[in-house]
Amino acid sequence: MNEVLIEPSSQELYALILSKDDCYNDDARLFVDFLKKRQYGVTQTGLEEYARYLDSLIDGKRYSANTYNKRLQGAKQRLRHLFENSPSAEHDATRLRFERALNAVKLKKINSTAVSRENVLTEQEVNQLITESTDKTVSLMVEFLYATGCRISEMLGILLTNMVKSNGKYIIRVLGKRRKERKVFAATALVEKVKEQFQGSVYLFEHNGEQYDRISVTRRIAYQGSIILRKHISAHTFRHSCATALLEKTKNLKGVSKYLGHSSVSTTANLYVHSELTWEDISATAPISA
């Protein structure tokens, strides 16, 4: 069914799709280039064929399930943004047809809930982002997220009154999921840098006397990551990276689970105990080739 998903004409929509600035910029450009080249327009068929294209061999390669899902999700997110800002959004019947059309094009199922190593940054990559970022706000927030393993909402909600200085570190009370409180640690030098930069009066991280917006911060982090590391990252990437590094260094699954504020040790294990065999693992046990 070659139903037009959004009015007006496709040429106008192409420009609108590319005008939004978020973590899906590269995906949006790929989507628009495909639609223009194949002349499908912004139609249901266009989206369906785009999904088939993403699942095909491209320059002799095929996208991983994670990359396929990100590309397709990027196209859907931009289409939803356009729809919400179009006159059609006022009509329930049109909205229902639109959502059915998008939902009919499925993302790939990924069996494991584990965080892939592809989605974990190395310490060197984190340091590169911190030192090369042109956005001082992002640089300090990235350093804090990686150092503490905080969720973005936890970090932005830290009250100055919930921090205690002790023996070269700060002990910080954060409010996690289901309003469950726990303690995290941060080096005194890092916290003092944050205080000096943000000049908070109530929260550790403040902007003009106001609490930072979680979505805005995540977008700024994603932008710097795409420019410096050429990777799709989010604020949560640094929690994943911190957790992986802590497990590899301490081997203390129960301790890391408690520090991260997980409801159970199994949650931590499922997410961060990487059970895939690497080439180094396999080659170490393989017969030596003559």
Catalytic residue IDs: 151, 177, 236, 239, 262, 272
Contact 74, 13 (CB under 8 A): no
Structure tokens that stand for 252 in this block: 């203390």
Contact 125, 245 (CB under 8 A): no
Structure tokens that stand for 112 in this block: 């494991």
Structure tokens that stand for 76 in this block: 């859907």
- DSSP category for residue 120: S
Mapped onto helix, strand or coil, the DSSP state of residue 187 is: strand
User: Rounded CA gap, 193 and 89, in Å?
Assistant: 46
User: Rounded CA gap, 153 and 216, in Å?
Assistant: 12
Query: For 87, what's the count of Cα atoms within 13 Å in the CB-facing half-sphere?
Result: 2
CA angle 193, 249, 114 (to 5 degrees): 95
List, as one string, the DSSP characters of 95-150. Answer: HHHHHHHHHTSPPPP-S--SPPGGGS--HHHHHHHHHH-S-HHHHHHHHHHHHH--
Contact 70, 78 (CB under 8 A): no
Mapped onto helix, strand or coil, the DSSP state of residue 20 is: coil
Residue 53 to residues 15, 62, 156, Cα–Cα distance (Å): 22, 10, 40
